[in-house]
Amino acid sequence: MVWLSGPRKGQPADPRMGRGRQRGLYLHDPPPGYHPPHARMTMKERQRIARRDWILEHVLAVILVLLAAAVLAIICLMIATHH
């Protein structure tokens, strides 16, 4: 059984409604590729993941800037060589 999400205990699902019984959304079979979150993650593990994400974001930013520059250069060359 997989719990997807739902309101926290003590918080109404809708502010207009009073406090009632709230349940999250449960699936009997997890979707393909689903991995449950780890209950506790060490600080070292969180830092490693954050560092990996930071590096990936910056590498992708550099690639996107270079790609945009290449597209702009191709467009300028096409305009310059147009008869």
Q: Are strands 25-27 and 2-5 parallel, antiparallel or unpaired?
A: antiparallel
User: pLDDT of 37-53, one tens digit each?
Assistant: 665 778 898 899 999 99
Nearest to 30 by CA among 6, 56, 3, 2: 2
Q: pLDDT truncated to tens, each residue of the chain (83 aa)?
A: 566 665 556 555 555 555 555 566 677 787 787 777 665 778 898 899 999 999 999 999 999 999 999 999 999 999 999 87
pTM: 0.50
